[in-house]
Amino acid sequence: MSTSVSSPARLTPVERFLRLFTDIRSGEGRVALIMFLNVFLILCAYYFIKPLREGWIAVSPIAGLERMEVKAYTSFAQTVLLVGIVAGYSRLVTRWPREKLIRISTLFCMSNLVIFWFLQPDFFFRNLPWTGIGFFLWVGMFGVFVIAQFWAFAADLYTDQDGRRLIPMIAIGATAGAAFGSQITEFVVGGGLASVLDGLGLELLGAWSRQYLVTRSLLLLALIPLGASILLARMADRERGSPGPPAAAQEKESLLGGVSVVLASRYLLALTVITVLLNWVNTNGENLLYRVVQDTLTAEATAAGITGQLALDEYRLTGTTAFYGNFFKLVNLAALVLQGFVASRLLKYGGVAAILMLLPIVALASYATMALLPILAVVKMMKVAENSTDYSINNTARHVLWLPVSSETKFKGKPAVDSVFARLGDGMAAVTVLIGVRVLALPTKAFFAFNVALVLLWIFYSLVVVREHRALTHEMPADAA
């Protein structure tokens, strides 16, 4: 792990600009800007992919199940799948230098995108059975191989103190990339691309694009920022100096190396508990939002006289992708404001406790409101508030909490927590849907009330994490500093 640059030299123009967002020092600007651009591109690509995931699974029904159930149970399947994936990934961490690991895993995901592009429904093939579910599962894997490993890389570049200053600024790149990617997705799905082509005099291509390019170009578009991110990761690695594989590469690895690293630490175990609770709560909310969206689209299709299965599937695919493109845009724009103007200041003046406790407090207010008024407009607004706080303030907290641990622990433990244990929260949400729908036949209000109870438990364990973090870093409470 590299040490901070303490040269008294004057700041470059780039560094002076970056000081608007954080306390950046001489010599740090180049790498910080590279990392900013890197995560911007990765999240931009992710938000080309993520809305399509929601639309594709909407036209992948399983007989006898609600669409909310299909999504919830598929999320649970991710948990099982990612156990094996993280085990294999942990082995690669101990054998490959970090730049090689990032390059190969990103190229692997890019090759998968081309395959899924061919398999999209009613494109080259009719809606092949289970492809929407397969794509949903794959997007979870993408989060391990590309997104989680970027943050492990970022945490490995900086010391604890440097990371506290610089990671909040780098995280602005993540929220900006997510907002930009969501905006492009909404533009493409909303017919903006076809209109541009028509304006250029390409009417025939424009007509074809209205049917196919609205969603089917998104996976190919994602290849561009992902390819550029590989080059930026190499630049950052060369600037800071790659440490090579962790020293523990000589040791025999267990099957679940990443999981065992987490379970061996009381601090990481406490962090894992709140990760499970956070994802349980959030996924419950996502499942309920998805249910309301699908019910709304069904009602709209009926009112419009759309009855044929092919027409209904196209309406659901386009409508769901368009809704989530807009939803993610609102979430990420709000997150960008919070990340740019609140996150680093809240961390500086309130410490880790402040940025860690904000999300559960927002979630408590949001789900209490949704329990009282479970209608689409309210649910959407409250989920925007919750998710934007998660993607900004809490995103910073998640990465700062990993700064005090070793390089090997970051690269093994963080993907395990961000994937297996995060997906375990999704699995618990699937169990919630199973019991709530199949056994208790709960109304939507009752699901939201259950989430309120979970948030109270989440707040309790967040306080435990704050205590353990202070013990590990000897951090004083903000009011005692």
Q: What is the CATH number of the domain that holds 428?
A: 1.20.1250.20
Q: How far is CA 462 from CA 247, 271, 293, 356, in A?
A: 32, 8, 32, 7
- Does residue 158 belong to any structural domain of this protein? yes
Is residue 10 domain-resident? no
Residue 46 domain-assigned?
yes
Strand partners, 101: none
Residue 210 lies in a domain: yes
Q: CA 268, CA 410: separation in Å to the nearest integer?
A: 11
The candidate with the shortest Cα–Cα distance to 418, out of 140, 42, 226, is 140
Decide if 464 is inside a domain: yes
The pLDDT of residue 6 is: 42
Rg of the chain over Cα atoms, rounded to whole angstroms, equals 22
Assess if residue 349 is contained within a domain: yes
**Torsion angle, alpha carbons of 421, 135, 388, 70, to 10:** -80
Domain that holds residue 435: 15-243+254-480
Q: Are the C-beta atoms of 136 and 71 separated by less than 8 Å?
A: yes
The answer to the question of residue 1 being in a domain is no
71 inside domain: yes
Length of the chain in residues, anyone? 481
The pTM for the full model equals: 0.74
The amino acid that residue 348 corresponds to is K
pLDDT means per 10 residues, the chain with 481 residues, are 49 78 78 92 92 82 82 81 73 79 91 90 72 88 80 81 81 87 82 61 50 68 94 88 49 54 84 94 94 87 83 82 88 88 87 94 97 90 96 87 78 76 85 94 92 97 90 62 42
The count of domains in the chain is 1
